[in-house]
Amino acid sequence: MRVVVAGGAGFLGSHLCDRLLDDGEEVVCVDNYLTGRKNNIEHLLGRPGFELLEQDVSEQMTVPGTVDAILEFASPASPLDYARYPIETLKAGSHGTLHALDLARSKGARFLLASTSEVYGDPLVHPQEESYWGHVNPIGPRSMYDEAKRFAEALTTAYRNRHGIDTAIIRIFNTYGPRMRTDDGRAIPAFVSQALRGEPVTVAGDGLQTRSVCYVDDLVEGIVRMLRSGLPGPVNLGNPHEMSIIDTARLVVELIGADVPIKFIPRPGDDPMVRRPDITLARRQLDWEPVIDVRDGLLRTIEWFASELGAGPVPGAAAGAAVAPVA
């Protein structure tokens, strides 16, 4: 297939480009580098089957030639990013999705929307299954991302129903791994970067809020299976194993072997208290579930961040140092 990956220079998009090329597909990476980074895909430049187009999908999406599939991953995806770029985030979910759907319609291509667990907001149902409509503040500090993705799902569904486009929707839960930015603002990049620098690890609130973290390779496997399945979704993709934020911070500090305290900071507004996917549909329809243990995934992530930050060998990765005290 010839596959367009919108947002292909981002964290998830770049891993998708790698995987699709390894599977023998041709890949067209589209990005404007608002939050994506060119060095995420520099290793692919010149590789047979890889093309790079610098475009803002909110303004246009023009891809010459045949296209078999379009993966719409073009959006800021962390609270820090979408607070910094609120209008751009809303335009990515609305105009960007519209342009990608129009391209899919004109090319007769399968369209896959990267939606998010954020459509569930601060959920009143736990764990979250796809039939749950969510509990979202439409004017809150996370609304630009939450509502952009909810609109994108509605638009994708309308194009499927009105124009007969072969569409798919996945709802991605918290994902981590190499190529996340050190200034990403999400919990794991913050914890790893702080511990590697010897700084206090900052936990929002009391740290008892939970997340379900999935290593990027597991998520990419689920995305590829969804792409090739013909299913419309929505389908949750994430790790059903739930961890508190404080336990995640302690595990990162332990694996790094850092002698740093954990410091509590104010909790952001509308920060969800719980977040865990029901992946029954993914198991049944895609024969998919995560297989990479969180310790193994974190060690791979820590190794990459250490190289990125020039931190050298990570002593705790092999020795399993004691957990740092809470301050």
The answer to whether position 29 is within a domain reads yes
At residue 6, the 3 state secondary structure works out as strand
13 pLDDT above the threshold of 90: yes
The answer to whether position 260 is within a domain reads yes
The answer to whether position 73 is within a domain reads yes
**Nearest C-alpha neighbor of 309 from the set 200, 181, 176, 175:** 181
Same-domain status, 157 and 256? no
| CATH number of the domain residue 193 falls in | 3.90.25.10
Same-domain status, 149 and 250? no
Same-domain status, 42 and 66? yes
What is the per-residue pLDDT for 311?
A: 73
Same-domain status, 50 and 149? yes
Q: What is the model's pTM?
A: 0.94
Other Cβ atoms closer than 10 A to 101: 25
Per-residue pLDDT tens over the stretch 50-97? 999 999 999 999 999 999 999 999 999 998 998 999 999 999 999 999
Same-domain status, 199 and 143? no
What is the per-residue pLDDT for 315?
A: 56
Region at 297 (left for phi over 0; alpha for psi -120 to 50; beta for the rest): alpha
Same-domain status, 6 and 35? yes
Which structural domain range is residue 194 located in? 187-210+241-275+292-319
The answer to whether position 112 is within a domain reads yes
Per-residue pLDDT tens over the stretch 260-278? 999 999 998 888 899 999 9
| CATH number of the domain residue 138 falls in | 3.40.50.720
Mean residue pLDDT of the chain comes to: 94
Let me know: does 222 contact 279? Beta carbons within 8 Å.
no
Same-domain status, 246 and 161? no
Euclidean distance between CA atoms 224 and 211, whole angstroms: 23
Average pLDDT over residues 203-211: 94
Let me know: does 246 contact 204? Beta carbons within 8 Å.
no
Same-domain status, 115 and 261? no
- For the annotated catalytic residues, the residue numbers are 145
Same-domain status, 194 and 227? no
The answer to whether position 285 is within a domain reads no
Same-domain status, 13 and 157? yes
Count up the domains in the chain and report the number. Answer: 2
Same-domain status, 39 and 161? yes
Q: Could you tell me which residues are beta bridge partners of residue 175?
A: 214
The answer to whether position 246 is within a domain reads yes
Same-domain status, 46 and 140? yes
Euclidean distance between CA atoms 119 and 217, whole angstroms: 23
Farthest CA pair distance, the chain: 58
